[in-house]
Amino acid sequence: MRPACGGSLRDEGKGEGPAFPIRTTTEPHHPEEHPEMADSSRAQLYYLAESTWGATPAAALTQMRFTSESLGFQIQNTTSREVRADRQIADLIQTGAEASGSVEVELSYGAHDALLAAALFSAWGTPVAISVADDIAASNAGASFTSTTTDFAAAGIVVGQWVRVGGFAASGGANNGYYRVTSVAANALGVSPAPVQDEAAAGLTVAVAGTLLRNGVIETSFTLEKQFTDIGQMIAFTGMVPGSLGLDIRTGAVITGSVAFTGKAATIGTSSVGTGTPEDAPTNPVMNAVGHVGEVRENGVKLPEAALRELSIRLDNGLRGIQAVGSLGNVDVGSGRCTVTGRVSVYFADGALYAKYLAGTPTSLSFRVTDSAGNGYVVTLPRVKLTRGTVVAGGNDQDVLADFDLQALRDPDTDCTLQIDRFAA
């Protein structure tokens, strides 16, 4: 049967192809394009100390190890109050701005030393580097190290500083270790704790090392740059002054820290503000509160290893942004007092600390952290008063903790509130 129009569903004598041709095209296929978006895991953070506040030097940046950051440029806007018959808002005006934010870190040796010094408004001192043969002896009764030719004062050692002593041999090197300096003379170094035993200098090469940092009055600013490498965008913040510093030690955790900044301005671009290849961050291991806390001392006495549960320190420089007519953002950053507070939590074993809290008796606090390679720091609050103390039995089947808030004060012997000593392996 043929269709009325005279054709056929299939052309006669032609195979079994379709009766209607299939249209083809040579035009290329364009899948939907998606813009690449930044991934936080690809971000990098860099820093560079400024010679002039708010001006980035022509120098290479240094990479910063960090766990998170909140750096930004906060702009204050004012809504126009102009009255309009159509009830619409005429304008939104930028009336103030400030670069600010914080950087969270995990403590590792050497990775943040420049930031530590800047947060203390100070600079690391000249390293003590004594290594001498047949000259330095140990005295247990005198709580000191003595010498014939070595001048401890000329070496730059000061009262209150921590030093690491090595090279003694008796009793498996019992006199080697960390000591806090109590007095300095040309040929005698008073220390606490006292050396374990008397030991003569003959046949020994004794080394004394350490680098000191104490809070001061020297402001240092940085250019900080966030690089989003996956999309090629760089945000630089200038004039960034460390306003606060935090350190936290908690049972079963990594030792963490934070630095908050106040600064001047921000810019965004596709190239770095640094000059040349950036310097890599140090790669020393992250320190933890399990195997890297060497000792904690209260009033010079070492606490039992099972005593401490938590210790935190907060330094606040009281920064304030200074703004002026004609400028969007800060034209300078002012500083206030160096305020150091903290919190310590210990397992309740005796009433000594609580008695000091009740009586308002000053004490001191220090702790040492050392990584697996032998690099370390000692953080010292040489004069502390406890501002709040609680000893509470919360309920059944719990450890009783003694929790204290503390305020660090100027120590007349060292003329400082916070001290950090550094020791390279």
Give the pLDDT confidence of 147-184 residue by residue, as tens digits.
999 999 999 999 999 999 999 999 999 999 999 999 99
**183, 189 Cβ separation under 8 angstroms:** yes
Single residue among 183, 214, 245 that ends a domain in this structure: 214
Q: What is the pLDDT of residues 252-287, one digit of tens each?
A: 899 999 999 999 999 999 999 999 999 999 999 999
pLDDT exceeds 90 at position 355: yes
The CATH number for 190's domain is: 2.40.30.20
Amino acid at 84: R
Single residue among 214, 244, 276 that ends a domain in this structure: 214
Terminal-residue alpha carbon distance, the chain = 101
Judgement on whether residues 200 and 55 belong to the same structural domain of the protein: no
User: What does the pLDDT read at residue 28?
Assistant: 53
Q: Which of 29-33, 157-161, 401-405 has the highest mean pLDDT?
A: 157-161
The model's confidence at residue 32, banded by pLDDT at 50, 70 and 90, is: low
φ, ψ of residue 357 in degrees (nearest 5): -65, -45
User: What does the pLDDT read at residue 290?
Assistant: 81
Look up the domain containing 240 and give its range.
Answer: 41-80+88-122+216-423
Amino acid at 399: D
Helix (H) or strand (E) holding 355: helix 352-359
Q: Is residue 28 part of a domain?
A: no
- The reported pTM is 0.87
The model's confidence at residue 350, banded by pLDDT at 50, 70 and 90, is: confident
**38, 230 Cβ separation under 8 angstroms:** yes
> In 326-400, at which residue ranges do the beta strands (DSSP E only) sit?
332-334, 339-347, 363-370, 376-392
Judgement on whether residues 291 and 338 belong to the same structural domain of the protein: yes
Higher pLDDT: 274 or 392? It is: 274
Judgement on whether residues 248 and 209 belong to the same structural domain of the protein: no
Number of domains the chain contains: 2
Token duo for residue 106? 């995990």
Judgement on whether residues 220 and 322 belong to the same structural domain of the protein: yes
